[in-house]
Structure 1
Amino acid sequence: MLSRLVLVFLFVVQTNSLSVLTDDKSQTTKNDGETVLVRQLLNQETVIRMALDRKVNDLVKGIADLKKNMETSNQQLQDAKREIETNKQQLQDAKKEIETNNQQLQDAKKEIETNNQQLQDATNEIASLIKENSALKAQWQVQSNLTAFLSDNLKTTINSLKQSQNSQRELSSAVSSLQVFQRNMSVLSGPAKVTPVAFTAGMTSYSSWWQGEILVFPHVITNKGQGYSSSSGKFTAPRDGTYVFTVTTVSYSTNALYLDIVQDGVRKVRTVSSSSASSMTGTNLVVLELDRGDAVWVERNSGRGYNSYSVPLTTFSGFIL
């Protein structure tokens, strides 16, 4: 558009110049002396027109180059925009990947915590087994030393009796002494002391709307052998044996409550706290043969709520015979 305006301007200038020069030329017929001047003016006009043409061409070329540069710049701008969009998408993908990695890290932390807890439980169990093994080794050592001592005494006594003139009397006396010594040693050595297993846990507050499954007794009064867990409400047998369990419940107000003593998912006995009056007591007892690792707990059969105070009314107990 700019180039067209320049050309129109030049055309107007040239037209005006030619009209002036033509008028001057008509006048030169009267005066030959002015002819040279007209020719000089025409030559100057030609030179000026050629210079203007060159400038116009240069200007048009410059405008064309500017247009090309603008097109190139626009293309570069479009490429830059596309690159920015690509970088934004890559940034979004990177954020999603970071979130996924963070979630995986959280899951790994939880798994590590679980493994650490299992390792701690295994360490405690190993420590208990080591103590039990040490006690058995000490008992075996005492019995081994006793056997060796008795054997040496018997050999010495027999050799002495063989050399004695009164062999019959001395042999009888030695046998009697040996029997007395053996009885005394048996009494002294006796069976190895076994760690007792017994627990009592209770509730120190009431609940009018409790309707859970396992009733967890958080207040531990006694826990010999560490078989009862106040966090899960379950007793786990530390060794094989015959165990006695008892549970006592007091209902809340006139609510009915039915609780069972359960061994590894099998219901054994049930307590009944009826709704015929307020704060009804239900109790029951069971004797169970347990293998090491068997679990026993108290589970709700039906009903809701229980009553208790800071000195427990609702309790769960057990011990090994």
Structure 2
Amino acid sequence: MVPLLTAFCVSACLINLTIAESEASNTTENTGVEEPQLPQLGTDSVVLRQLLNQETLIRMSLTKNVHAMMKDMVSFKKTALSLQSEMSTVKQTVGDEKIKMEKEIEALKDEIQQLKERNEVLEDRLSAQNLTDFRLRAELEKNLEDRKRLEKDLRVGQENFERNTSEILSDIKIQIRVLSMSLMELNKHAQEIDKTVPELIENKYHVVSEMIANVSTSLLEETNRSLGNIRSDLSETQLDQLKLSAAVLSLEWFRNNISSGGFDVSERIGFTVGTTSGNRYWGSGKLVFSSVIFNQGQGYDASSGIFTSPTDGTYVFYVTITAYSSNTINVDIVHDKVSKVRAHAYGSTSHQTGTNMAVLTLSRGDKVWVQYASGGGYYSESVPVTTFSGFMI
């Protein structure tokens, strides 16, 4: 900055000198007075003139440079003002950006704090989940052990059951064979009787005929009565023979089914359930019998109170409802949302009972339950008096 000011001062001095010379020249021209002629001084005067000419050239060059410098100074000033304006704008922009960045930084700090808090919550949840997983894993291992133990017990029980069943079936087969032999002997004896009876009748008929020819009317009546008794005995004998034949056929069929495995007790389906406590205010929905007394085939669900048919067939259902105190209560046996029969317990006296039975044809997957119809409140005891039963026939 200092060299620039020094150059500016030198330029100003040169400009002033140039202006003064220009005014002196103008004054001479205006007055018409000529410059005094210097005397010829020889070589020194030539040198002086050359020096003056050089000085004039230098002065003119300096004047031109000063003018150029002044223009540069003006341009520099304009540039400086422009730069100052831009600097102000930049400062304002930087200030705004700084404020904006500070706000964003604060927002980021808040977000980071929230993330930290959330991370702590997630870590707590993860720790709790790990504990839960550990507990569930322990319970799962325990359940697996219980399952293995239960499977082992079931396997042992099944083996014992099969062994006992085999022994029982063997005994039944032996008894059936003995009974079959006895029935065959009875059948043979009945056939022998069947063969001898006509001969006896024929003989007695001839005897009676001879007696009829020789005896009186009273003896004839007695003979007819005897003949009727003989015919009655013959009819009874033939009926006993038919019964024995039917029994033999039934036993043969039973023996064939036992031998071929067609008679399976485990395929029977039936249940008896009840409730061990009453509900004075019950008045809607299904009646759930939570106490399971018998459930062959696992068709009844104690949690929902619904029997689901395991297979196609004809089923018998029976319901007993005991009214609470002197209330009146009506319930229906429902097959797939359709009421079939209704049990009515009229509350004329305390704990009246209503019963009903339905025979239904079910397909596999059909559902049957006991549904509230009207009235309210049912009664039961530790040994159930309000029950629901069903079996396949």
What is the TM-score of this pair, normalised by structure 2?
Answer: 0.38
| Structure of greater relative contact order (alpha carbons < 8 Å, 6+ residues apart) | 1
**Structure number with larger C-alpha Rg:** 2
